[in-house]
Structure 1
Amino acid sequence: MAKPKPWEISDELWAVIKPLIPEHQRRFRHPGRKRLDDRLALQGILFVLHTGIAWEHLPQELGYGSGMTCWRRLAEWNKAGVWQRLHETLLDRLRATDALDMSRAAVDSSHIRALKRGAQTGPSPVDRGRPGSKHHLITDAGGIPLAVILTGGNRNDVTQLLPLLHAIPKIRGKRGRPRQRPRVVVADRGYDHDKYRRMVRTLQIRPLIARRGTEHGSGLGRHRYVVEQTFGLLHAFRRLRIRWEIRADIHEAFLSLACALICWRRLASLC
């Protein structure tokens, strides 16, 4: 049996996604062309996410519709909050199976080039001032992505520490109160600022942040490596290696969808 392509949606994953997609009411008068099946449109979106191909080059012979149709569906579903709800649903399932470890969280950021500029871009200090963006990521102790934020490439990492902590959704999956805050947050020297340490403590979270000016070998690397591994998984989606989208919401949709897919893989590996 041929191995399924990574952009092909399994029946199990589709069963999770389908209830989250808003139902489209077709017009009674002048209905126009029949709407492309949602599952095929999603596979077209995933094809672009995995391969990095331009929307207009989406192969018609795959049966996923035109690139513009898939682009519109991505934007439509992002506006409806489908990708965020999908990510939250999968986090709930991971917690229900005891696969989520909120005893500790790790944060980091990664620069990407933004060739077409647009919102949430800025001169990148690591790319000779060329326009770029940053992915700011927070994971649990096992590397499961909890939240991701897009900013300009010139935004200081420490300014996104509190927004990342607040962006973690309320994770259910078990009886009792939902879990939203890790006990400890681990970060590198880019987050070294006493003001932000105090702000993190007000959330009843213990900050473990390396100090600037000290020798390497703080020992935090054995906890922080998981977020770097997750960045590797995120950027394995070729569309996320370089930002081609002028609109920030389209790139953020790809980010949320990629985080959800990483959660799904982790969940599937437990079965």
Structure 2
Amino acid sequence: MQALARRLVPDEMWEVAVTLMPAPRRRRQGGGRAAADARTVLTAVVYVLTSGCAWQHLPASFDVSVPTAHRWFVRWTRANLWQSLCEATTDDPGLADWTRAIRDCASFRVYD
């Protein structure tokens, strides 16, 4: 699983993505659960986007619930993360191709 995660979200991509992600929302009432690990969620979302798998078929081995993965996907889509990531990786041809593929897949999934 670790090898798949590194292929889906290589370190170079993660270093760029983390700077582009919107800050986690603060809960007005405070408390609640700690936010999920952003890299873990990003890996699960990229898997769903690029594999064509339905959200409800996200393998449990990703350690992210379907509602969490989808909620973060929607938040990141609204924040234009996919396009920003694509633009920020243009200097690295291999990474640029991968982020472009992710962006294109995300544009077809919008909020399903």
Q: Normalising by structure 1, report the TM-score.
A: 0.33
- Structure 2 residue matching 1:68: 3-state secondary structure: helix
* Offset, 1:27: 2.6
Amino acid of the structure 1 residue aligned with 2:31: P
Alignment check: 8 A CA contact 1:44 1:67 kept: no
* Offset, 1:31: 2.5
Is 2:78 aligned against 1:83? no
- Counterparts in 2 of 1:138-157, with a 5 A limit? none
Deviations 1:196-216 (A, max 9, x none): xxxxxxxxxxxxxxxxxxxxx
Q: Which residue of 2 aligns with 1:19?
A: 19
Counterpart-to-counterpart distance in 2, 1:71 and 1:86: 18
Counterpart-to-counterpart distance in 1, 2:89 and 2:31: 35
Q: Which residue of 2 aligns with 1:61?
A: 61
Counterpart-to-counterpart distance in 1, 2:8 and 2:87: 22
Amino acid of the structure 1 residue aligned with 2:44: G
* Offset, 1:80: 0.9
Computing the radius of gyration over CA atoms, which structure comes out larger, 1 or 2? 1
Report the structure, 1 or 2, having the larger strand content: 1
Task: Give me the CA root mean square deviation.
Answer: 3.1
Q: Normalising by structure 2, report the TM-score.
A: 0.71
Q: Which residue of 2 aligns with 1:49?
A: 49
The number of equivalent residue pairs is 103
- Structure 2 residue matching 1:29: 3-state secondary structure: coil
- Please list every run of at least 4 consecutive aligned residues from structure 1 whose deviation after the TM superposition is greater than 3 angstroms: none
- Structure 2 residue matching 1:5: 3-state secondary structure: helix
The gaps in structure 1 that reach 5 residues or longer are: 100-143, 148-233, 252-271
Report the structure, 1 or 2, having the larger helix content: 2
- Counterparts in 2 of 1:109-128, with a 5 A limit? none
Q: Which residue of 1 aligns with 2:33?
A: 33
In percent, how many aligned pairs have the same letter?
A: 29
* Offset, 1:28: 6.3
Alignment check: 8 A CA contact 2:74 2:111 kept: yes
Alignment check: 8 A CA contact 1:55 1:71 kept: yes
The gaps in structure 2 that reach 5 residues or longer are: none
Q: Which residue of 2 aligns with 1:72?
A: 71
Larger relative contact order, structure 1 or 2 (CA cutoff 8 Å, min sep 6): 2
